[in-house]
Structure 1
Amino acid sequence: MEKTISYKGFEITVTLDSVRAVSGEFRYGPPVGYVAVVSICTADPRRPIGVPIRLVKEGNLVFDTVDDALTTGLTAAQRAIDDKSAP
């Protein structure tokens, strides 16, 4: 899953990496959580600002839901942009 939004002249993209459990038989099970991968680019021309950042919850835990991972990734990117543009 991926979500892209425009924010204050930047383009924020959050991509989710699913984390799967491995059974004792070495078979992959359903996703047990998600890692948010956040990228920030200038809008026009499109150029990356830094490198993508991988986000997890406190305690190095994966996000339980797609919505939690997307919301946290978007909020973190917006705060980073706001901090950069603050006087």
Structure 2
Amino acid sequence: MDKMYSYKDFEVTVKIESVRALSSEFTYGPPVGYIAVVSICTPDPRRPIGVPIRLVNEGNRLFDTENDAITAGSNAAQRVIDDRLSP
């Protein structure tokens, strides 16, 4: 699941990476959690602001659901943009 949107004239992309456990047979099991990868760009011309941010939950834990990761990534992007725009 990915989410793209505009916030205060910046383009925000939040991509979700699933983390899977390895079984003893070296096959991938179901996702055990998710990581949010946040990218922020200027809209025109499209230029990245810094490098993508990889987010996990408090205590260095994976997010339990894709929606939790999307929400956290969106909130983090908004805080970065607000901090960048503050005098």
Normalization by structure 1: what TM-score? 0.96
Q: Which runs of 4+ in 1 moved over 2 A?
A: none
Identity fraction in percent: 70
Q: 2:80 corresponds to which residue?
A: 80
Number of aligned residues: 87
User: Which 5+ residue runs of structure 2 have no aligned equivalent?
Assistant: none
User: Which 5+ residue runs of structure 1 have no aligned equivalent?
Assistant: none
Q: 1:5 corresponds to which residue?
A: 5
Once residues 29 and 54 of structure 2 are traced to their aligned partners in structure 1, the CA distance between those partners, rounded to angstroms, is: 22
For residues 29-82 of structure 1, give each alpha carbon's deviation from its aligned partner in whole angstroms, at most 9, with x where no partner exists. Answer: 011111000000001111100000100011111100010000000100001100
Once residues 17 and 68 of structure 1 are traced to their aligned partners in structure 2, the CA distance between those partners, rounded to angstroms, is: 12
| AA aligned opposite 1:64 | D
Once residues 77 and 25 of structure 1 are traced to their aligned partners in structure 2, the CA distance between those partners, rounded to angstroms, is: 39
Q: 2:24 corresponds to which residue?
A: 24
Higher strand proportion: 2
Instruction: Return 70-79 or 21-30, whichever deviates more.
Output: 21-30
